[in-house]
């Protein structure tokens, strides 16, 4: 093997000719450590030590007889061609979404709860938008994504898609809706207000902004300690000057 050099080949041939088995085992472990130092960049490999012993057996022509921590490889496996990997025969309608979107849609169709199904479809809708932005570097319109989603689902999620088309996607994920009743109440409030999850986000930001404004108004009403301290010190100095008696009085 050229990556180890001719000196490692000579040492391996010398170890094979040793008659003392104990000495042969010792020298084989030393040679493996030497091979490890020659290629330190291969240590990231998970079976790095196993590969070093396999290479030592290959260098010795499978004639090395030592007590190694790993079984020797078979000579028939050397130079064996890898198995042929067939092409993917799945016909994807939109390749930039991948096969996982189809699997998620199948799981959403089989979901029994209407609330969980709506949350599932909303999650897929947002995921499709992120995939579309990754591959096309463009922000698509909602009706484009919803039309593609309806094609991929083959009309089985028409009720949920119509809700998203009218009100927008809800923010709750499917697992959150299963584990928290608070998310169910949030989804019901969205349906009653006729608005999607994006309106809830803007409302929260407005409330947060109102709190910040209140905090700023409180800060404006606070006296400036720095300047007030100066004014107080100035007044005290003026009072001290007035209290001093003039000479000759």
Give the model's pLDDT for residue 31: 93
pLDDT tens per residue across span 8-22: 999 999 999 999 999
Contact between 127 and 169 (Cβ < 8 Å): no
Give the model's pLDDT for residue 44: 62
Res 184 pLDDT > 50: no
Domain locations along the chain? 6-75, 99-195
| Listed residue (164, 151, 155) closest to 94, CA to CA | 151
Contact between 19 and 66 (Cβ < 8 Å): no
Binned at pLDDT 50, 70 and 90, residue 78 comes out as: confident
Q: Once rounded to an integer, what is the mean pLDDT over residues 119-124?
A: 92
SS3 186: helix
Q: Interior CA angle at 99 toward 46 and 183, to 5°?
A: 95
Give the model's pLDDT for residue 217: 45
Give the model's pLDDT for residue 175: 59
């Amino acid at each position: 093997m050229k990556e180890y050099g001719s000196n490692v080949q000579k040492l391996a041939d010398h170890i094979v000719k040793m008659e003392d088995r104990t000495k042969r085992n010792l020298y084989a472990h030393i040679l493996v450590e030497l091979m490890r130092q020659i290629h330190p960049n291969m240590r990231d490999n998970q079976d790095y030590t196993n590969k070093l012993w396999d290479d030592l057996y290959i260098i010795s022509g499978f004639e090395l007889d030592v007590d190694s921590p790993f079984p020797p490889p078979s000579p028939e496996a050397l130079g064996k061609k890898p198995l042929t990997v067939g092409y993917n025969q799945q016909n994807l309608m939109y390749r930039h979404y991948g096969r996982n979107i189809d699997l998620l849609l199948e799981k959403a169709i089989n979901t029994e709860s209407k609330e969980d199904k709506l949350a599932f479809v909303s999650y897929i809708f947002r995921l499709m938008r992120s995939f579309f932005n990754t591959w096309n570097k463009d922000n698509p319109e909602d009706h484009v994504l919803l039309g593609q989603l309806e094609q991929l689902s083959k009309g089985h999620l028409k009720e949920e898609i119509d809700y998203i088309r009218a009100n927008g996607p809800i923010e709750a994920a499917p697992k959150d809706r299963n584990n928290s009743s608070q998310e169910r109440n949030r989804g019901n409030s969205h349906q009653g207000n006729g608005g999607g999850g994006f309106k809830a986000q803007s409302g929260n930001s407005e409330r947060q902004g109102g709190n910040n404004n209140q905090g700023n108004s409180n800060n404006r009403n606070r006296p400036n300690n720095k300047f007030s301290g100066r004014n107080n010190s100035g007044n005290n100095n003026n009072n001290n000057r007035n209290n001093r008696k003039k000479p000759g009085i």
